[in-house]
Structure 1
Amino acid sequence: MRDFFIRSLEKLIGVIIVLMIIGVLVGFLGIAFGGSYGPYGQSGGFLAGLIFLVVGTIYVVLMGGFMYLGVGIYQNTLRTANAVEEMVAKR
């Protein structure tokens, strides 16, 4: 049952990352080509959209990396525990 949840978490992380990428792209298009003014009189523009795209991409890479790092730590710990059990069993 535990493996089911870990595999589901990996799939969920993949879906979340794809949704984050789509959100960054939609935000870029909205800022760069939206043409409307914000609540405080600021307007978008291609440069603002490009900055959003770069910063958003960095954010997606960092958050995705940290999420997969957590799953990777679990998998490494599981492999280490299995290896230690095999070493003990060989004695």
Structure 2
Amino acid sequence: MRDFFIHSLEKLIGVIIVLMGIGIIIGFFGIAFGGGYGPYGQSGGIFAALIFLFVGAIYVVLMGGFMYLGVGIYQNTLRTANAVEKLTAGK
């Protein structure tokens, strides 16, 4: 049962990363071609959209990396525990 939840979490992380990427692309087009004005009177434009795209891509990479790092720590700990059990069972 535990493995089911861990594998489901890995799949959920993948879906979340894809949704974050889609959101950044939608935000990029919204800023670049939306024509609206921000809360302080600033407008969008291609430069602001490129900054948003760059910072958003960095954010997705960092958050995805941290999420997969947490799952990887679990998997490495599980492998280490199994290896220690094999070593102690052989003695």
Q: TM-score, normalised by structure 2?
A: 0.97
Which residue is 1:75 aligned to?
75
Identity of paired residues, percent? 81
Alignment of 1:1-91 (within 5 A): 1-91=1-91
Shift >4 Å, 4+ stretches: none
For the aligned residue pairs, the C-alpha RMSD in angstroms reads 0.6
Task: After superposition, give the CA deviation of every residue in 1:4-42 in whole Å (9 maximum; x if it has no partner).
Answer: 100000000000000000010000000011112123211
Structure 2, unpaired ranges of 5+? none
Unaligned segments of structure 1, at least 5 residues: none
TM-score by length of 1: 0.97
Distance 1:3 1:37 in 2: 48
Count of residue pairs brought into register by the alignment: 91
One-letter identity of the residue aligned with 1:73: I
